[in-house]
Structure 1
Amino acid sequence: MKIERFQQRFSRVATCVVVMIAASMLLAAGTGEVPEFTPRQCDPARVVGPDTCIKCHESEMKQWMQTPHYRTFDVLHRTPEAKEIAKKMDLRSIKRNDTCVTCHYTRQLQGTRERVVAGVSCESCHGGAKDWLNLHADYGGPNITREMETAGHREKRLAESIAAGMNNPTNLYLMARQCLSCHTVPDEKLVNVGGHKAGTDDFELVAWSQGSVRHNFVRSDGAVNATSDPARLRVMYVVGAMADLEASLRAVSKATEMSTYGRTSAARAARTKQRLWDIQRKIDHPLVAKALDAVSQLELKLGNESQILAAADAVGAAAYEFADVDGNTIAEVDAMLPDPSQYK
């Protein structure tokens, strides 16, 4: 199905108002600038490796070792599918090129050489820790534990760690975007030539973050992998849909030919937009309306990169704000949440 057909689907909602202004103007006062949307390959020079994290996060590490993210290191390069993609892309080694490593592995600078040291690891999501590790582990003094830390010090510690390069663990939009920067493949050639899938078709933030990859042990000092409360799950579901739409639009904007990558990305954008409309019918929220307005008459076609990216920026800005919404005010979304039996 051609991209033009999805263009028509995006323009049928006559009740929306077209918003075609720069994303910087859409940012609400006080939210700050939304960081650039891009796959975050850790700077190998700042990677300390998972063996360092286990010193304080043993429970989290044990949970990680049960996930496909961990097993990638030993398994991915051996699969027939990966070998076939590498052959089509003329890649000699899956572990020694940016195309594969960006999303599937963690590299570390060892001496003068960069080496793959893990699959999708702690630092793949939280950022290379060299510059923020000590800040992150300081609870207020040498004899102060996490349980003894004051609220003021925790706030200061997180702010300083984030400023030093730690990916924000508390903003749900930034978490969603980190996942989607790889679960929507950012490489047209990899799909059209290599035969790689254009993304994870059934990715949905609640289902994919609350299953095997969940590692919420901090609340119980390593004893229990706590589930998120209903209010947080509601916000997570809405933010996840908005971030998915943004990521899909960014993928469409990269398409240079009428082929699998562009068509699949456009289909995902249209599908996700419809899900966001279903959410809006239940909660009637101004930030969701802002995201939908940005794509109401957007043309998903080749050569329209600037307008598609402007719409993606607007959707991301709205999602960034929505991450601060009180989930208790949007209980109507409960009927749309995946059942725990659907968690991945």
Structure 2
Amino acid sequence: MNRQLENSTAAAIAALVLAVCLFTGPGTALAQGDGDRFKVIGPTKCAECHKAETEVWKGTTHHALFTDLTRSKEANQIAERMGMRRIKSESLCLDCHFTTVATEGGGREAIAGVSCESCHGPASVWQPIHSGFSGKKEGQETPAEIATRWEKSEAAGMIRPKDMYRWAKNCFSCHVVPQEKLVNTGGHRAGSPFELVAWSQGEVRHNLWYNKGAINEPASRETKRLMFVVGRAVELETSLRAVGKATERAGYAVAMAKRAQAARQAVDALYGYLKIDELKQISTAANSAGLKLNNEAALSAAADEVGAVTRKIVEKYDGSTFGAIDGVLPPESAYKGKPAR
């Protein structure tokens, strides 16, 4: 992977209303508040070293959610229909709209909007390793020590930008709304028109670490190609799981089935451009299960296979051989907002 990917985006992005956060439902890589490994330390701690990235974050919808969501008429109407009294204290809203910490009473307290750990994983275990520089000062480590430190950080739960499959799953875990009741009863939208390249290269882009904040470069062309493919595959995996969770023929089930079918077609189109075996395998797996109610076992198995093959794509390819899709990559004009710097 190139260095731009190492710091490209927050390793996940979230929507204007459906921001990435730590939902414990299907398809999500993170769980918040369960044991020391998954304790959140909050964005203030990350900002001690990542000052430039923090300034970019402060200009995003992710950051603004902490105050804006509770002022939203639409959000409050959804909460009322769901029987929730306070958006910042009800778990269903906390799951995708906030960063939360565990309270002494066993509850959760919102401390920020969508932030660092929403994408990189709860950091109580991995942050001391990540920022410890192998017991030395920054710049004094040997290459072997740096490599070991990264390995230990990842083993402790850190999701690095190079792990594109995992952070992409975090994005889609909220952009494809994972709650049937929230849609059918609350009137929440069933998902956003999320596309990984366009939504990662706009306002949330913070590719600043390696140049010490001098310039916020977009991801390389090769990386964007890989993002585009991985995004289509992860959307397919997530929407298959969502269809499997649907229990009634209503708005949620219909929307998720349409999304899954569109994702199938998108993967087939990518195979037409790239002709790589992995995309054919994904297509075969995705079409092995019917998009219907009461079919969760088959749909989950299909989604598992899609996910497993997508991980192989991330491990095997870097986008350099994906030039055939350059014509279908979203242009800069399609990016969701502009970064603060």
Q: Place the TM-score, normalised by the shorter chain, in its bin.
A: 0.7 to 0.9
Does structure 2 conserve the Cα–Cα contact (< 8 Å) formed by 1:86 and 1:94? yes
Counterpart residue number, 2:123: 129
1:68 aligns with 2:93: no
CA distance in 1, matches of 2:143, 2:277: 32
* Residues 115 and 124 of structure 1, relative CA distance in 2, 3 Å threshold: same
CA distance in 1, matches of 2:287, 2:191: 24
Does structure 2 conserve the Cα–Cα contact (< 8 Å) formed by 1:181 and 1:247? yes
Letter in 2 for 1:294: A
1:274 aligns with 2:265: yes
Does structure 2 conserve the Cα–Cα contact (< 8 Å) formed by 1:173 and 1:239? yes
Counterpart residue number, 1:225: 216
Does structure 2 conserve the Cα–Cα contact (< 8 Å) formed by 1:40 and 1:102? no
Given candidates 30, 35, 43, the residue that maps to 1:40 is 30
Alignment deviations for residues 210-252 of structure 1 (CA, whole Å, 9 cap, x no partner): 1101111112122221221111111110000000000111110
Does structure 2 conserve the Cα–Cα contact (< 8 Å) formed by 1:135 and 1:160? yes
Does structure 2 conserve the Cα–Cα contact (< 8 Å) formed by 1:41 and 1:103? no
Counterpart residue number, 1:210: 201
Does structure 2 conserve the Cα–Cα contact (< 8 Å) formed by 1:126 and 1:167? yes
Task: Indicate the larger mover: 317-326 or 135-144.
Answer: 135-144
1:120 aligns with 2:107: no
Please list, as runs of the form range in 1=range in 2, the aligned pairs for 1:284-323 lying within 5 A after superposition.
284-323=275-314
CA distance in 2, matches of 1:41, 1:95: 18
Q: Which of the two has higher C-alpha Rg? A: 1
CA distance in 2, matches of 1:151, 1:234: 29
Superposed displacement of residue 258, structure 1? 0.1
Alignment deviations for residues 11-44 of structure 1 (CA, whole Å, 9 cap, x no partner): xxxxxxxxxxxxxxxxxxxxxxxxx832634228
Counterpart residue number, 1:186: 178
Does structure 2 conserve the Cα–Cα contact (< 8 Å) formed by 1:107 and 1:117? yes
TM score, norm. by length of structure 1: 0.85
Letter in 2 for 1:104: H
Superposed displacement of residue 126, structure 1? 1.2
1:87 aligns with 2:77: no
Share of identical aligned residues, percent?
Answer: 41
CA distance in 2, matches of 1:39, 1:83: 28
1:144 aligns with 2:138: yes
Does structure 2 conserve the Cα–Cα contact (< 8 Å) formed by 1:108 and 1:117? yes
Counterpart residue number, 1:22: none
CA distance in 1, matches of 2:135, 2:216: 27
Letter in 2 for 1:321: K
1:163 aligns with 2:160: no
SS in 2 for 1:246: helix
Counterpart residue number, 1:340: 332
SS in 2 for 1:107: strand
Runs of 4+ in 1 over 4 A off after TM superposition: 110-113
SS in 2 for 1:117: strand
CA distance in 1, matches of 2:51, 2:297: 45
Alignment deviations for residues 188-210 of structure 1 (CA, whole Å, 9 cap, x no partner): 0000000001111x210000011
Letter in 2 for 1:198: A
SS in 2 for 1:48: coil
Superposed displacement of residue 154, structure 1? 2.8
Counterpart residue number, 2:274: 283
Does structure 1 conserve the Cα–Cα contact (< 8 Å) formed by 2:98 and 2:110? yes
CA distance in 2, matches of 1:129, 1:207: 27
TM score, norm. by length of structure 2: 0.86
Superposed displacement of residue 297, structure 1? 4.2
Given candidates 325, 329, 339, the residue that maps to 2:321 is 329
SS in 1 for 2:213: coil
Letter in 1 for 2:270: I
CA distance in 1, matches of 2:335, 2:312: 26
Letter in 2 for 1:302: L
- What count of residue pairs does the alignment treat as equivalent? 306
SS in 2 for 1:169: coil
SS in 2 for 1:140: helix
Indicate the RMSD between aligned Cα atoms, in angstroms. Answer: 1.6
Alignment deviations for residues 121-178 of structure 1 (CA, whole Å, 9 cap, x no partner): 1111111111111101123343233xx5444333221221121122243111112111
* Residues 39 and 322 of structure 1, relative CA distance in 2, 3 Å threshold: closer
Counterpart residue number, 2:240: 249
Letter in 2 for 1:96: S
Q: Whose relative contact order is higher, 1 or 2, with alpha carbons under 8 Å and at least 6 apart? A: 1
Letter in 2 for 1:219: Y
Does structure 1 conserve the Cα–Cα contact (< 8 Å) formed by 2:288 and 2:302? no
SS in 1 for 2:234: helix
Please list, as runs of the form range in 1=range in 2, the aligned pairs for 1:93-108 lying within 5 A after superposition.
93-108=86-101
